[in-house]
Every structure is written in C-alpha cells, then in structure tokens.
Amino acid sequence: MAAEPVAASVFVAAPPERVYKYFTQPAEIVRWMGDYALLDAKPNGLFTLDVRGAPVRGRYLELEAPSRLLISWGYAESERVPPGASIVEVRLVAERGGTRVEVEHRKLPPEETQPHTRGWDHYLARLQHAATSGDAGLDPGMPS
C-alpha cells in the first residue's frame, strides 16, 4: 500500500528555463543531486542517477518544458522501491524573480515517506544553492 505523497518545494532565483535543465541535463543534475547521471530527457527516456551510493533508476514519463516533468523512480536491486516503482512530479512555477520548484513523490511505501521527505528537503536546498552559485559543492549527506 502506498503512503500519502511526499511534497516539498523551494524558491530558486533563476527562471524556469534554467531550472528545468537541472532536471534534464547530466552535468546540471550532478551539481546538486548525485555523483553520476545518464539522462535521456524524452518520453520513455532513461533516468539514471547515482545519489551517494543509491542507484536511482527510472524513466522520463512526461516532459513539458519548462514547466513540468514526470519521472518514474526506484532503486536498482531494491525490493521496497524497485526501479520505476514510484513517480516524481516536478512543477516549475514562474514567480517574481525566479521559480517555485514543487516536487511531489508518489507511490512510495509508508516506510519510505520519512527518508524521502528528508531527502527532497535536503536536495532542493542544494538545488537552490546550485542555481545561485553554479554548484552546491560536495554533498555532506542528509541530516539524521
């Protein structure tokens, strides 16, 4: 049984067109989330991202540049959240001077809600930093 969706948001001082690239271009996504990425940003294109040893595997399901992405999400060799088992929706809403990034992560098992809530809060803060400085620096990991 899936839990309630995990929701997180952050304001980024960059236009939606720029922020969209942080979710679709390998060199950009690793500035704030992950150590390695292989992305094919088209419908049914591969979404491969290694995040501090966690091998995220999925596919781009829908892309509406520069305002929305729908990505299947899971982890290689995971029984709880196998590749593509959950869905991440990213909405990029233009606001004065930047973009409101809204993430909703659906179809997670209940025991994954808390770690994914912490994870999205942590990584969206890094996205905010990367968008203003160009790089969020080394990832210290999520607080416990």
The string of DSSP codes covering the chain is: ---PPEEEEEEESS-HHHHHHHHH-HHHHTTTS-SEEEE--STT-EEEEEETTEEEEEEEEEEETTTEEEEEE-BTT-SSS-TT-EEEEEEEEEETTEEEEEEEEES--GGGHHHHHHHHHHHHHHHHHHHHHS---S------
Specify the length of the chain in residues: 144
Domains defined for the chain, CATH in brackets: 6-133 (3.30.530.20)
Going residue by residue through the chain (144 aa), what tens digit of pLDDT does each one get? 677 999 999 999 999 999 999 999 999 999 999 999 999 999 999 999 999 989 999 999 999 999 999 999 999 999 999 999 999 999 999 999 999 999 999 999 999 999 999 999 999 999 999 998 888 888 988 766
* pTM of the shown model: 0.95
